[in-house]
Structure 1
Amino acid sequence: MIRRLVSGAAAGALSTLAMSAVMLAGQKIGLMPSQPPKHIVRAALPGHPHRPKPGERALGAAAHLGFGAACGAAFALLTRGRGAGVPLGVGYALMIWLGAYEGWVPALNILPPASRDPARGRPVVMAAAHVAYGATLALAVRAMADGRHAG
C-alpha cells in the first residue's frame, strides 16, 4: 500500500507537470489571464484575498504540484496500483476539475465558477489541462505497476 501511494504520488507529480505545460500555453496565447493555483494561494495567504502577495507564484506552483501528487496517490489507491485506462484517468481528472472550479474554488470566492467565468478561455484551458493530467496519470500509474511486476 505504501508503494502504491508513493508511485501514485510520483505519477501525479509527473502528470501535474504535463498539465502545467497546457496551462502555461493557454496563458501564453492569451486564453487565460493568470494561473488559478496562484489565485488559490493568494486567497489562502494573510491579507486581502484578491491582492497580490510576495511569493504567491512559487507557492502556487508548489501547492499545485502537491495537490497533483496527492490526487495521483488517491488514483493509485483507487485503481489498486494497477493503473487504469486513459478514459478512467481523464474522467477522474475532469471530476477533480468540476469539483474545484464549479465547487470549492467559487464557494471560497477565489474565482468565479467555470460556467460563469468572464475569462472565457480559462475553463477551456483548465478542462484541457485536466484531460492532459488524467491521461498522463493513467499511463504513468500503469507503467509503474507494470515495472513492479516485470521481473
Structure 2
Amino acid sequence: MIRRLARGAAAGALATLTMSAVMLAGQRAGLMPGQPPRHIVRAALPGHRHRPKRGERTLGALAHLGFGAATGAAFGVLTGNRRPTVRFGVGYALLVWLGAYQGWVPALNILPPASRDPARGRPAVMAAAHVVYGATLALAVGALRRAGGTPTKEDR
C-alpha cells in the first residue's frame, strides 16, 4: 500500500509538470486569463479573494504540485497491482477536472463553473491539460511499477 501511494504520488508530480506546460501554453496563447491554481490560492489567502497577493505565484505552483501528487497517490492505490491504461488515466483525470471545475471551485466562488466560464478558452485548455495529466499519470505509474519489480496482474 505504501509503495502504491509513493509511486502514485511521484507519477502525479511528474504528470502535474506536463499538465502545467499545457496550462502555460494556453495562457500564453491568450485562451485563459491566469492560472487556476493561482486563483485558488489567491482566494485562500487573507485579504480580498480576487485581488493579487504576494507569494501567490509560488504558493499556487506548490499547491498545484501537491494536489497533483495527492491525486496521483490516490490513483496508485485505486489501480492496485494492475497496469493502468492510458484510457483509464484520462478518464480519472477528467473526473478530477469535472469535480473541481464544475464542483468545489465554483462552490467556493473562486472561478465560475466550466460550463458557464466567460473565459471561453479556459475550459478547453483545462480539459486538455487534464487529459495530458491522466495519460502521463497512467504511463508513469506503469513504468514505476515495472522499474520497481512489482509484478502486475498482467505479468502473472
> Does TM-score exceed 0.5, indicating one fold?
yes
Letter matched to residue 47 of structure 1:
G
Q: Is the 8 A contact 1:81 1:141 kept in 2?
A: no
Moved over 2 A (4+): none
Residue 80 of structure 1 aligns to a residue whose secondary structure is coil
Does the residue aligned with 2:148 lie in a helix, a strand or coil? helix
**What code does the residue aligned with 2:126 have?**
M
Secondary structure, counterpart of 1:53 in structure 2: coil
Supply the distance in 2 between the matched residues of 1:131 and 1:54 (Cα, whole angstroms). Answer: 31
Q: Is the 8 A contact 1:8 1:81 kept in 2?
A: no
- Post-superposition shift, 1:115? 0.4
Q: Partner amino acid for 1:94? A: L
Take 1:33 and 1:49, find their aligned partners in 2: how far apart are those partners? 16
Aligned residues: 151
Q: Does 1:51 align with 2:62?
A: no
Query: Counterpart in 2 of 1:28?
Result: 28
- In structure 1, the gaps of 5 or more residues are none
Give the Cα separation in 2 of the matches to 1:83 and 1:53.
42
> Which residue of structure 2 lines up, in the alignment, with residue 8 of structure 1?
8
Matches within 5 A, 1:1-151: 1-149=1-149
Report the CA distance shift for 1:150/1:75 in structure 2 as closer, same or farther (over 3 A). closer
Tell me the distance in 2 between the aligned counterparts of 1:81 and 1:88: 14
Identity %: 76
**Partners of 1:101 and 1:113 within 8 A in 2:** yes
Structure 2 gap segments, 5+ residues each: 152-156
